[in-house]
Structure 1
Amino acid sequence: MPAVQPAIDLYDVDSRRRLAKMVTRLFDHWQLTVEEQAVLLGLSPKSRTTIARYRRGHPLAARQDLIARVGHLLGIHQALRKIFPHNKELAYRWVSQPNRRFDHRPPLAIMKQGYEGFLTIRRYLDLEAP
């Protein structure tokens, strides 16, 4: 699995702004509710204002945990694009579909359990990706 530590400077506003844009686009592709987005980012499920700010171009907060979570989300997306190179829609739906590898639960449910859930999904995909 790729290094867990982010490769960006937490205080580089432009990098955090780009990450916010990328992760909110990913959430759109995955068709997640605002509450699901907040939980995946380690925020309160009622953090609609924070999510809306990220969508408007504000940078992610300079928090190690948040940057690491976004890094894992983007890594999961990258692995799915490698696994399903000719089927973007399947790559985007994968997180919401029941999966026998996870006792017929969708990977999203595993990720919503917390940081260990992210690692479980990321490890699985990193082993599956070509």
Structure 2
Amino acid sequence: MNQAAVAFNQGDQNRGALAKMVTRAFEHWKLGTEEQLAMLGLATNNRAALSRYRRGEPLAANRDLLERAGHVLAIHKNLRLIFPQDRDLAYAWMTQRNKAFKGLTPVDVIKEWGFAGMLTVRSHLDRVRGN
């Protein structure tokens, strides 16, 4: 069971911890507000939700949001495992153009394709890791 499913089943405390982890990954990746909202599948005018999540308020008990959060953390973990000696590269990867995505950045793929884009980015990293 992934972290998002655990958080969904065990309540506010775990969803609050998940919110902090996700927003921390966004900070490492240096994503703008619009990009963060897109990653979470939230409306572009929902900046208040990001502020609440940064403070550790629980993610909404919404399966789509929690699944996206789980994928964000999996992407972050994959990058740390792929680039163990170079955190700067691991953190910059999400905003760098990539041949695997026809010159788009992974964030652009997610913004343009939504949840399917997130799965595309994650599965690419899974393949790079040999999973």
Answer yes or no: same fold by TM over 0.5: yes
Matches within 5 A, 1:29-44: 29-44=28-43
Given residue 81 of structure 1, which amino acid in structure 2 is its aligned partner?
Answer: R
Partner of 1:115: 115
Given residue 96 of structure 2, which amino acid in structure 1 is its aligned partner?
Answer: Q
* Count of matched residue positions in the alignment of Structure 1 and Structure 2: 128
CA drift at 1:10:
1.6
Question: In structure 2, what is the Cα distance between the partners aligned to 1:6 and 1:35?
Answer: 22
Among residues 5, 8, 11, which one is paired with 2:6 in the alignment?
8
Matches within 5 A, 1:32-71: 32-71=31-70
Partner of 1:80: 79
Kept in 2: contact 1:96–1:107 (CA 8 A):
yes
Kept in 2: contact 1:35–1:47 (CA 8 A):
no
CA drift at 1:4:
7.3
Unaligned runs of 5+ in 1: none
Q: More helix by proportion, 1 or 2?
A: 2
Unaligned runs of 5+ in 2: none
Q: Percent identity?
A: 46
- Higher mean alpha-carbon deviation, 5-14 vs 59-68, is at 5-14
Question: In structure 2, what is the Cα distance between the partners aligned to 1:122 and 1:58?
Answer: 26
Q: Considering only aligned residues, what root-mean-square deviation do their CA atoms show, in Å?
A: 1.6
Question: In structure 2, what is the Cα distance between the partners aligned to 1:9 and 1:28?
Answer: 21
